[in-house]
Amino acid sequence: MHYQSTRGQAPDLDFRGATLAGLATDGGLYLPAEWPRLSPQTIETLATASYAETAFTVMRPFVEGALSDAELKTLIAQAYGDFGHAAVTPLVELDHRHWLLELFHGPTLAFKDVALQLLGGLFGHFLADGERITIVGATSGDTGSAAIEAVAGRPGITIFMLHPQGRVSEVQRRQMTTVNAPNVHNIAVDGSFDDCQALVKSLFNDQPFRAEMQLSAVNSINWARLLAQIVYYVHAASRLGAPHRQVSFSVPTGNFGDVFAGYCAARMGLPIGRLLVATNVNDILARALNAGDYSVGQVAPTATPSMDIQVSSNFERLLFDLHGRDGAALAATMASFEATGRMALSEAQRAEAGKLFLAERVDETGMMQALAWANSECGQLLDPHTGVGLAAARARADELPGPIVTLATAHPAKFPEAVERATGVHPSLPRRVQHLFDREERFERLPADAEALKAHIRKHA
Ligand SMILES: *Cc1c(COP(=O)(O)O)cnc(C)c1O
């Protein structure tokens, strides 16, 4: 399998190359050159397959030439072996239409574990003996802990994770700072999340430093992360009647990574009715899909911080298909977007996207009502991100064919204040993570200064 850049200028890579590169050298994102097909017979057999078996079937054609069957099976077993639930991503019925797909049974209680547990193993596998990489990232919460948990203790990898001092929740901070491994370095930056991101960007733009340190990224532009996420769409749909019945999904969306994995599943032949893109009030994707207006505004902080974004980096992957897979045309569109902060989708592009995607914006009241409904009518405590997804799903149920699955992207105990405000119930942490409050925290405090950060990384990498 070959991977090509959405901007058409970077060389094609195999799965190993695309995984280690993350971003393509022309600024584009990697996509497989073709979509492998899941036949109806294969989907039928997956109805009784384990999560690991489904993962193997889905991923195998994408990793061809880079991993043997035995290697892929081992990596899958290691990635999903210590999830806190035997089903890995269990389905929960809410009422006659609505289901939840719980994606938060990994080590850090958010769906990012599903992708990053596998990515950590892939990095470990692909780095030949003696080869070293330095992962540098910025986090506003869930990505940081999931990435740290995925690479802690792995030879050849050192990770530096930046978070804005005092601006992540206590649970989120402790999930990063209590990991006691010599290759993990937490940095609390005196500044905002945007400052952290700008610092990381400036390091990646410093080519000599990038080469010296072998910098690598783990954000959701990495194709391998999306690949891992295709699996749970197939797993859920095959349990709810695919290939004989369509299934729809509502996806709490920020960077468009999770919902794009659903698009990949549909391209592979999974009978997805509709994919509902659920946004909070930071609604650039809802505006783009509903009105063709992809223009950047100001980020408004909400109770769903992992969806507080303006630019959704993975949207470029859908735009590639909407531009007829013409990398040069998309590169021109993206250059104009980067210069002006706006992009208009044509009527034809919007109609094409609308065959599969719907979009709904959910405000704080809608999110709180969904949390209250799930608690009082179904006895389920949801996290606020999942609440945005469920509110959207209930608002648009008439347009969603088949059973409707809302992706439950985080455990409610990660966001206890918002959950308690909506339901009056304080969610408790699962027993397997209660150690968080007993362990010592380790982090460095640094100013928002690129030179200070580089010196720190040189000293500790
Ligand atoms: C990251 C995240 C999201 C958004 O996912 P994208 O792939 O960025 O669209 C939603 N909910 C939670 C809890 C997250 O951590």
Q: What would the DSSP string read from start to end of 56-117?
A: HHHHGGGSTTTS-HHHHHHHHHHHHTT-SSTTSS-EEE-SSSEEEEE---STTSBTHHHHHH
- Residue 145: C-alpha distances to residues 54, 60, 107, 152, 160 (Å): 26, 28, 9, 10, 11
Of 422, 406, 409, residue with least CA distance to 93 = 406
Per-residue pLDDT, averaged over 288-294, amounts to 96
Per-residue pLDDT, averaged over 138-147, amounts to 88
Give the containing element (helix H, strand E) for 263. Answer: helix 257-267
pTM over 0.85: yes
- The pair of structure tokens assigned to 323 is 């531009």
Could you tell me if residue 142 is inside a domain? Answer: no
Residues with CB under 6 A from ligand 1: 110, 112, 142, 220, 252-258, 306-307, 385, 409-410
Long-range contacts, stretch 205-212, CB < 8 angstroms, 24+ apart: 206/450, 206/454, 209/454
Query: Residue 116's pLDDT band (boundaries 50, 70, 90)?
Result: very high
- The set of residues, in sequence order, having a beta carbon less than 8 Å from that of 129 and lying 6+ positions away, is none
Residues found in the chain: 461
Q: From the candidates 73, 112, 414, 459, give the one annotated as an active-site residue.
A: 112
**142, 176, 275, best to mutate for ligand 1 pocket (most atoms within 8 Å of CB):** 142
Predicted pLDDT of residue 259: 98
How much distance in Å is there from the Cα of 257 to the middle of ligand 1? 8
At CA 161, angle to CA 416 and CA 126, rounded to 5? 115
Predicted pLDDT of residue 353: 98
How much distance in Å is there from the Cα of 435 to the middle of ligand 1? 25
Assess whether pLDDT exceeds 80 at residue 220: no
Predicted pLDDT of residue 38: 98
Whether residue 201 lies in the annotated active site:
no
Assess whether pLDDT exceeds 80 at residue 219: no
- Tally DSSP H helices, then E strands, for the chain: 19, 15
The rounded mean pLDDT for the chain is 95
**409, 411, 415, 419, best to mutate for ligand 1 pocket (most atoms within 8 Å of CB):** 409
Query: Residue 82's pLDDT band (boundaries 50, 70, 90)?
Result: confident
- The set of residues, in sequence order, having a beta carbon less than 8 Å from that of 153 and lying 6+ positions away, is 181, 183
Could you tell me if residue 437 is inside a domain? Answer: no
Helices (H), 355-433: 364-378, 384-395, 416-423
Which residue bears the tokens 């802690």?
152
Give how many domains the chain has, as a whole number: 1
Cα separation of 155 and 132, whole Å?
8
- DSSP conformation class of 427: P
Could you tell me if residue 314 is inside a domain? Answer: yes
Assess whether pLDDT exceeds 80 at residue 215: yes
Predicted pLDDT of residue 27: 86
- The pair of structure tokens assigned to 242 is 């695919």
Give the domain range for residue 262. 91-109+223-423
- DSSP conformation class of 164: E
**At 362, which CATH number?**
3.40.50.1100
Could you tell me if residue 368 is inside a domain? Answer: yes
Could you tell me if residue 197 is inside a domain? Answer: no
Could you tell me if residue 86 is inside a domain? Answer: no
Strand, coil or helix: 215: strand
Cα separation of 81 and 446, whole Å?
36
Predicted pLDDT of residue 221: 85
Return the percentage of the chain with pLDDT > 90, whole number: 83
Could you tell me if residue 148 is inside a domain? Answer: no
Of 305, 328, 365, residue with least CA distance to 142 = 305
- The pair of structure tokens assigned to 51 is 């999560």
Predicted pLDDT of residue 245: 98
How much distance in Å is there from the Cα of 306 to the middle of ligand 1? 5
Could you tell me if residue 413 is inside a domain? Answer: yes
